[in-house]
Amino acid sequence: MFAITIKDINKYIKKQIQPEPDLKEVLLVEFQEFADVFSKEVSDTLPEHREEYDHKIELEAGAELPRTQPLRRMSPDELKVIKKYIEEHLEKGFIEPSTASFASLILLVRKP
């Protein structure tokens, strides 16, 4: 049997939430002038659209397309991570829903 209080929960949450470090302190001296590149706010937005760099894959008529594969077996934790990633990137506009008849598999790699 165990007991837990709101105070215990708040203390645990406070330990988990750490403020973002000042980039000037974390970056090597050689890279400090580029600190804005590592900004969380900047990384949450896409650069302006540039038509000269548009890319399109033209499929040949009658070409055999790759067969689709079902979602491989994943743990509930893996599925939560994938769902969170997809929702965040949809919200930011980095990705969009697709109706393509084929797609790439997802590979998860645990952070060290």
How far apart CA 89 and CA 95 sit, in angstroms, is: 6
User: Per-residue pLDDT tens for 59-75?
Assistant: 888 888 777 777 778 88
CA-to-CA separations, 44 to 13, 38, 41, 88, 89, in angstroms, rounded: 25, 11, 5, 10, 9
Is the Cβ–Cβ distance between 86 and 93 less than 8 Å? no
> Where along the chain do its domains lie?
7-44, 69-98+105-112
How far apart CA 64 and CA 43 sit, in angstroms, is: 38
- What pTM, to 2 d.p., does this model score? 0.53
User: Per-residue pLDDT tens for 76-95?
Assistant: 888 888 899 889 999 998 88
Q: Report DSSP state, residue 18.
A: -
